[in-house]
Amino acid sequence: MRNISLLDLYNHPHVQKYVKRSGMVHAISTAYHAYRLSQKYGVDPDLATKAAFLHDIGHYTWYKNGHWDYDMYKENDIHAIKGAERAHRILVSLGEDRKNAKEIALAILLHTDSYLPAGSLNLNPLQKVVALSDEADEEPGGNHHYRTISDMKAITMIKKLDEMVDEYHEEEKVKHSVS
């Protein structure tokens, strides 16, 4: 049984504020990609969908004269660091298992290397799933951050994904009880 659901996260006021700022559609589609890829990489879809849903929660808007300034973003952005910390705080405050909260925060911290000095990251499977899911939903020019969705549609999609994760856990429990 999961301590908290995606819907609990969705309803948190800080998630509403910050995830809407970085793109609710992008967050939800990245979470769906993460569900699919978690099967392939053998990671828990509960952690993968939560990390994917929250991965951009640390975004700040780098605007100059009403337009996104990509150079300013490249130079100053630390959204993965901020996001990891912000997500961790929200997860813990809602009662997420501490170990899970750390795993999710780390996957958010490492979902992009755009803020790091050149080098390659050695990602674990969960971290890889989140990074690949983000890439799968990216659009040129950062357009994935601007797609919009009604609250009602967002809630329907999140509830559906919660059910998929719960079903997966149920199936796993059955598998382990017969083996």
Using CB under 5 A as the criterion, which residues of the chain lie in contact with Fe ion when the complex forms? 56, 134
Q: Minimal distance in Å, beta carbon 45 to Fe ion?
A: 18
121 vs 174, beta carbon nearer Fe ion:
121
Phi-psi map region of 4: left, alpha, beta (phi>0 left; psi -120 to 50 alpha) = beta
Q: Minimal distance in Å, beta carbon 125 to Fe ion?
A: 19
Taking a C-beta distance cutoff of 8 angstroms, is the pair 84, 105 a contact? yes
Phi/psi at 149 (5° precision): -150, 150
- Sequence letter at residue 69: D
Q: Minimal distance in Å, beta carbon 153 to Fe ion?
A: 20
Q: Rg of the chain's alpha carbons, rounded to an integer?
A: 16
59 vs 88, beta carbon nearer Fe ion:
59
23 vs 45, beta carbon nearer Fe ion:
23
56 vs 162, beta carbon nearer Fe ion:
56
Q: Distances from the Cα of 62 to the Cαs of 74, 76, 92, 107, in angstroms?
A: 10, 9, 29, 23
Q: Minimal distance in Å, beta carbon 81 to Fe ion?
A: 14
